[in-house]
Amino acid sequence: MSGASDRPWRLAAALCGVVVALDQAAKALAESELYPGEQVDLIGPLDLTLAHNRGIAFGLAGDGGGLLIAFTVISLCFIGWLFARDPQRSGMWVAVGLLVGGALGNLVDRVRADAVTDYIDVLGWPPFNVADIAITVGVGLLAIRFLTEPR
């Protein structure tokens, strides 16, 4: 790869790095300012609540440990393969950067603490974090990209 052909890879990597940095910084701040179960009202239905999730989204598959780490690594490989097939596809770098950044942000937690730090609490939803937002938006963008483009 060189020149314009590696631009999508560089953009995806940069976005990934920003997501991981923001996610880890926000988690460190939540860990330093909140205690588990504490609820801090922010605005409207948005609160902060420190929670540690040993499962996947919404606490499913709790205590998956090594299996969840393996699943994350396999998912990252699949996303890389998908991106490598057509990195020039419009907007793919954004979806990939968000997905990989979010997955790595949560993977860091799993490896370091055997649980993901969650702190954003919206009425009716289990607590989540910046990485979860990035993954959700990345999956949405990927779905839109593949459902709306004729290929």
pLDDT digits (tens, 9 = 90+) for 10-36: 999 999 999 999 999 999 999 999 998
- The span from the CA of 74 to the CA of 141, in Å, is 20
Distance of CA 29 to the CA centre of its chain: 17
State which H helix or E strand residue 71 sits in. helix 66-85
Q: How many residues does the chain have?
A: 151
* Band of residue 62 on the pLDDT scale cut at 50, 70, 90: low
- Annotated active-site positions, please? 118, 132
pLDDT in tens, 92-148: 999 999 999 999 999 999 899 989 999 999 988 889 999 999 999 999 999 998 888
Instruction: Name the pTM for this structure.
Output: 0.88
State which H helix or E strand residue 118 sits in. strand 116-122
* CA dist 113 → 17, 31, 83, 109, 150 (Å): 20, 12, 30, 5, 43
- In the chain, what is the straight-line distance between the N-terminal and C-terminal CA atoms, in Å? 24
